[in-house]
Amino acid sequence: MRITPIDIQQQQFHKGLRGFDRREVESFLDLVAQQMGELIRQNDELQIEIRRLKVELDEHRNREETLREAMLTAQRAIDEIRETAKKEAQLVVTDAEMRAEKILHNAHGRVTKLIDEINDLKCQRARALEEMRGVLRTHQKLLETYDHDAAPQAEATVTVLERVRAPLPPAVHPVDQAKASGVG
């Protein structure tokens, strides 16, 4: 049985010759001492448990603070990595755009150069055709002139040759004979 503070206050002892009954008082004091010892022991155990729990709570708080700091550090690192990745991506995109622009510029330059070369070739072709036409016209005029001038002379030559030479056998034509002899 556990003694409560009310039990101690309400405890009454029998009166004997010289006051309270000694055995009763000693018995009660033994019971109180025993329970006080048990309470002190429990109190000591509880104090030890409280200290242990406080240390454990401090450790948990330290871990929580460490975890919180680690999470903040990790979040900052993630943000920095993300920002660095964005900057690097922007640099890559900018570099790619510059390369693409350079390639386009070079391609436009090549196209312009090819167009100029094509135009030059067209001009050269037109000049060559015009020169050939001019040469052909010149040769045609020469041929026309030669045909007009050469026709009466060829007949005259043939006539003169026929007069100078003896008549040829019928198989050979007089104009062919004149060509074969180099007159012409």
Residues of the chain with pLDDT under 70: 1, 5, 9, 150-184
Residue 166 has what pLDDT? 46
- What does pTM read for this prediction? 0.41
- Residue at 12 is within a domain: yes
- Residue at 143 is within a domain: yes
Residue 182 has what pLDDT? 55
Distance CA 130, CA 133 (A): 5
Asked if residues 21 and 14 have their Cβ atoms less than 8 Å apart, the reply is yes
- Residue at 70 is within a domain: yes
- Residue at 18 is within a domain: yes
Number of folded domains that form the chain: 1
Residue 148 has what pLDDT? 77
- Residue at 166 is within a domain: no
- Residue at 65 is within a domain: yes
- Residue at 96 is within a domain: yes
Which range marks the domain in which residue 147 is found?
A: 5-158
